[in-house]
Structure 1
């Protein structure tokens, strides 16, 4: 463990000022981590997860920059979705390299739709040599319906409260049947179309209008760096990604590449809210960045 400093940084992105926090070790490695934030939150992260992660990495000699996208947190500008943050990422990396002159490689770490944004961007920037993807967001109507059927309805059958509602006569059978029917209908109408569309779009590297999973596949297939994929066992977003991979040989082949390492935290939720899960993510990310092998489930 080593000492590190933290200081605020500010930089321009087009006409707006963006704000972030740099965690800089006293002896910084040449590979640093840019933490990008998913969803409507800012650089601290849920239950301070990104602050704690940045400090853990910095204490192990890895410089870290975490920042707010335009329109979020302290940063200026209009809010935007994860599909429109490429310029923000480029400007943040430029600032990172300016603040840490010895830095020669950048790893982007993102949770949920920030992982998706990282996949859209990384292959276009040679400075990015690694990705840490936590519970990537691949949401489609059909995929959401399937994961809801597989993981929600099945779990409900074994819940005591579910049977208590039926016993007390408080269960709305009509609403339940309607909801279940809509879920099945979405799956049946979308499954074949999705498979056919994926095969067609997989041949078109420039298909910017393709659905989210196809565009993420293109981004990962074109990225030449190393990837650490971290999946939570108790998270519907993660389950949707895992189900997608199971259904598509193209994804399976891609993730079987030697450049991809995986860590499955079987009991963790979407944001790794318990300390033990956060610590596991931090420790494995540190080891991976420092070149150690990661394998197996936890």
Structure 2
């Protein structure tokens, strides 16, 4: 299927944002807006977002990726993932203008881009679904527990760890101090203010659309989310509901950097977006 890639420039809070829409010749009425995460711009690591948008457009799904204010080619001051609601609304407005046949959108986000999408979705009726890759639910105690449970347990089973230890190339004292620090963080009392996991849960519970969660099996951010989902009753109930689809890619890293992983994520996304 032939596709058109159209450069977009649109206003947001007195600044101009830049994006690219990938438009099929025969577009569906449901599109995908890619929400970037971390210090990335609209192309993504190893051109991940560019290639995803093109793959979706080849399947007839309009897709758009863009730069927040302060990132990439967009104007304005840099902001955190928790303060980009206006950017997302402006991008959806621009997407609808570029693809007049659109009736609704799916927000697709990686890491804190997934978190930004989840926190925003309930406020915009045009958002029908969320695709959340390795969602960011970071807390100090959550990171500590995840690192102890997954990283250190894995390291103890690796022959390279024991070779470094026996050869004297591993600073054992420093490693023990690091582990003790993680235990202390894991056991520290929780803050009285609602933490990110609680705010994310409230936002997703209030969102009436569908959700797909994709986890990289070798990613600590993804593992932290999985630990939260399996040990917290409220999260467990939310994610076991009929409107949530879950996938895990064994061995995949944070950005699904191998071609096979990237292609699998694109295939899951396309099939899911077209399934309802």
Interval of TM-score (by shorter of Structure 1 and Structure 2):
over 0.9
Say if 2:275 is the partner of 1:275. Answer: no
- Look up the match of 1:206: none
- Look up the match of 2:250: 266
When normalised by structure 2's length, the TM-score is 0.97
Say if 2:213 is the partner of 1:229. Answer: yes
Per-residue deviation, 1:175: 1.6
Matches of 1:171 and 1:251, distance apart in 2: 39
- Look up the match of 1:56: 55
Matches of 1:255 and 1:226, distance apart in 2: 11
Per-residue deviation, 1:52: 0.5
- Look up the match of 1:47: 46
The aligned length equals 276
Per-residue deviation, 1:174: 2.3
Structure 2 portions without partners, runs of 5+: none
- Look up the match of 2:71: 72
State the superposition RMSD in angstroms: 1.2
- Look up the match of 1:137: 136
- Look up the match of 2:224: 240
Per-residue deviation, 1:177: 2.1
C-alpha offsets along residues 138-196 of structure 1, whole Å, 9 cap, x if unaligned? 00000000111011111111222222222223332322221111111111224xx47xx
- Look up the match of 1:186: 185
Contact conserved, 2:165 with 2:172, CA < 8 A, in 1?
no
When normalised by structure 1's length, the TM-score is 0.90
- Look up the match of 1:108: 107
C-alpha offsets along residues 18-52 of structure 1, whole Å, 9 cap, x if unaligned? 00001010111100010010000100001011111
- Look up the match of 1:286: 270
1:39 aligned counterpart, secondary structure = coil
Structure 1 portions without partners, runs of 5+: 198-208, 293-298
